[in-house]
C-alpha cells in the first residue's frame, strides 16, 4: 500500500504542477534559499543554524505533530513543497525511506543533507523485548540498521547541528560565517545540556529503566542508564501475549525503576505492562513533535523537563 500511495502522489504531482504554478506560494526574492526539513527536530535545528541569514526560508514538510515518519506516505502537498525547495534536510538512518524515487521525480536538482552522515558511535536498532539496549557494549542480535533517533540525545543533536552548518556552508558559501557561528553557539548549549544530564544522573541508585520505544537509547547511553526492555519495536507494533510476559519478567528481575512513555502516543499496552510489573509510568518527550510556532529554546526547555522527570523517577536528589 505504501508503494501504491507514493506512486499515486508522484503521478498526481505531475498533473498538478502546471495547474498549481499560479496558486502556489510565491517564491519571493529569486535569491531565496528554500530549505525543506523532513521532521520537527530537523526543523528546529536548521532554524537555529540559519538564524540571521538573509534570504533563507526554512520550512517543515511534515506537520509538526506528525512525529517520526516510520510509516509515512508522501502527499501531493508534500511533493509540491519538495518541488519548490533547493535543499532537503533529512534525519537519515532510514527515517525517510518513504522518499526514494518520488523525491527525484518532484525535484531532480534538490540537494539532500543527511544530518546523520559521518556520526560515529551509533547504536544498532534491536527488536523490542528484554535487554533491548545493553548500555551499547554487549553484542546485539536481530537488529536491522542503526537507531535513527539521534535527535533525542542533546549530545547527538549537537553533532547534527554541526553537520547541517557544514553542509549549508558548502551550498551557500556567503552564509558560511553565520552558519558556523550559530552552530558553534547552539551545539555548545546542547553539549552543556548533555553534561548536565550525565552529571545529574551519575549517582542514581538504580539506573535500570524501560522505554515505550527505542527512541531514548542515545540519551540513556549519555546518562549511563540501562534500558532493560523496550515495549514496542515501532509505534503501533504491540507485543504479543508471550512477549508481554517476557517483558514483565525482565522488568521485575532487572529492578527497573520506571517505564517511560512518550506524549506522542496513548501507551495503553505500556501502561498495562507497567501495572503488571508493579512499577510507575512517567513521560519523557523526545521532541519528535511540537508546536508549529515553537520558540528558539523549545528543544532545550523540553529536554530540561525530561531531566527533572528522570531525577524524580530515579530518586536523584
Residue ranges per structural domain of the chain: 2-124+144-189
Mean pLDDT of all residues in the chain? 86
| Predicted local confidence at residue 129, as pLDDT | 60
| Predicted local confidence at residue 9, as pLDDT | 40
pTM here is 0.86
| Predicted local confidence at residue 20, as pLDDT | 39
| Predicted local confidence at residue 131, as pLDDT | 58
Which stretches of the chain score pLDDT less than 70?
A: 1-30, 70-71, 126-144
d(CA 312, CA 308): 6
Its CATH architecture, for the domain 2-124+144-189, is 3-Layer(aba) Sandwich (3.40)
| Predicted local confidence at residue 136, as pLDDT | 37
| Predicted local confidence at residue 21, as pLDDT | 37
Amino acid at each position: 500500500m505504501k508503494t501504491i500511495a507514493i506512486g499515486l502522489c508522484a503521478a498526481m504531482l505531475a498533473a498538478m504542477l502546471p495547474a498549481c504554478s499560479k496558486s502556489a506560494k510565491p517564491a519571493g526574492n529569486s535569491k531565496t534559499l528554500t530549505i525543506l526539513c523532513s521532521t520537527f527536530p530537523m526543523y528546529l535545528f536548521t532554524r537555529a543554524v540559519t538564524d540571521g541569514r538573509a534570504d533563507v526560508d526554512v520550512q517543515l514538510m511534515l506537520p509538526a505533530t506528525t512525529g517520526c515518519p516510520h510509516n509515512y506516505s508522501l502527499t501531493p502537498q508534500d511533493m509540491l513543497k519538495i518541488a519548490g525547495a533547493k535543499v532537503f534536510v533529512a534525519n537519515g538512518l532510514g527515517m525517510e525511506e518513504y522518499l526514494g524515487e518520488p523525491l527525484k521525480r518532484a525535484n531532480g536538482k534538490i540537494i539532500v543533507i543527511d544530518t546523520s552522515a559521518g556520526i560515529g558511535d551509533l547504536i544498532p536498532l534491536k527488536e523490542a523485548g528484554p535487554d533491548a539496549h545493553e548500555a551499547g557494549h554487549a553484542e546485539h542480535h536481530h537488529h536491522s540498521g542503526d537507531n535513527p533517533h539521534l535527535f533525542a540525545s542533546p549530545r547527538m543533536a549537537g553533532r547534527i547541528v554541526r553537520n547541517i552548518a557544514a553542509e549549508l556552508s558548502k551550498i551557500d558559501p556567503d552564509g558560511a560565517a553565520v552558519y558556523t557561528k550559530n552552530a558553534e553557539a547552539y551545539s555548545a548549549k546542547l553539549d552543556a545540556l548533555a553534561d548536565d544530564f550525565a552529571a545529574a544522573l551519575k549517582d542514581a541508585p538504580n539506573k535500570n529503566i524501560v522505554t515505550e520505544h527505542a527512541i531514548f537509547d542515545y540519551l540513556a547511553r549519555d546518562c549511563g542508564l540501562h534500558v532493560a526492555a523496550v515495549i514496542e519495536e515501532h509505534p503501533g507494533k504491540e507485543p504479543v501475549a508471550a512477549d508481554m510476559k517476557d517483558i514483565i519478567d525482565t522488568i521485575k528481575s532487572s529492578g527497573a525503576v520506571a517505564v517511560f512513555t512518550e506524549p506522542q502516543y496513548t501507551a495503553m499496552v505500556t501502561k498495562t505492562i507497567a501495572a503488571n510489573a508493579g512499577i510507575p509510568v512517567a513521560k519523557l518527550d523526545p521532541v519528535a513533535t511540537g508546536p508549529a510556532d515553537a520558540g528558539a529554546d523549545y528543544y532545550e526547555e523540553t529536554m530540561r523537563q525530561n531531566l527533572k522527570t528522570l531525577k524524580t523517577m530515579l530518586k536523584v536528589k
